[in-house]
Amino acid sequence: MDKSTNDKFKTFTNKFFETKKITDSYKDVQWGSTESQNIRFQYLCKLFEEDQTKDITLLDVGCGLGHLYDFILEKNYDNIRYSGLDIQRDFIEFAKKKHPDGNFMNKSLFELETDQQYDYLVASGTFSVTVPNEDMKKFLEESVEKMFTLCNKGIAFNLLTTKMPSEHIGTTETHFDPVEILDMCFKLTHRINFYHSYKPNDFTILMYK
């Protein structure tokens, strides 16, 4: 992604998620409920839940307030060394105060150097908000390629699906055709898990090296 496009995404995201007071709620990060957050986290964590390695590095792309880290601690994934990445400065500052032991970075995925490797990378809801006048599928493709470059073992991400009643598709949200996205992912690896049954409007893809 070129610098001007990256800057546009950063500016839009900071304004879109701007809030006067952070409450550490699902509402701050524009989710429908805590339950909808957690079921998505559950499927993302399938990426590494069978990995018995003692020290696993994980990068949460678009980490928001660190709610995935809350989930990981609650589920006792003791072997996970978590890092969070978000371009919304207020979210990162809040997450740092909430989890002083965590590693939270206020930058874009595309600002990470390619030698900054992690075992796994995940992204929950990161590709759901539509940035006006931008090619969101191209953004997704570039992001997935970048995430896969940065991982040692695998990546996971969730998206809103087009395979749902059209009346439920919002104008400020980006929905993706899962068949098209799978085709895109298979260009990077044949080791893929796909979940489309846990919610009517969502799907998750796991990709392994």
The domains found in the chain, sorted by start residue, are 3-9+36-208 (3.40.50.150)
- Given a cut of 70, is residue 54 above it in pLDDT? yes
CA distances from 67 to 73, 99, 129, 166 (A): 10, 10, 18, 30
Query: What mean pLDDT is predicted for residues 17-27?
Result: 68
For the chain, percent of residues with pLDDT exceeding 70: 85
Please tell me the pTM assigned to this model. 0.89
Structure confidence at residue 27 (pLDDT) = 65
Among 188, 190, 179, residue whose Cα is nearest residue 147: 188
Residue 168 per-residue DSSP state:
G
Structure confidence at residue 22 (pLDDT) = 81
CA dihedral angle for residue 108, residue 114, residue 117, residue 120, rounded to 10 degrees: 60
The pLDDT tens digits for 109-120 are 999 988 889 999
The pLDDT tens digits for 67-100 are 999 999 999 999 999 999 999 999 999 999 999 9
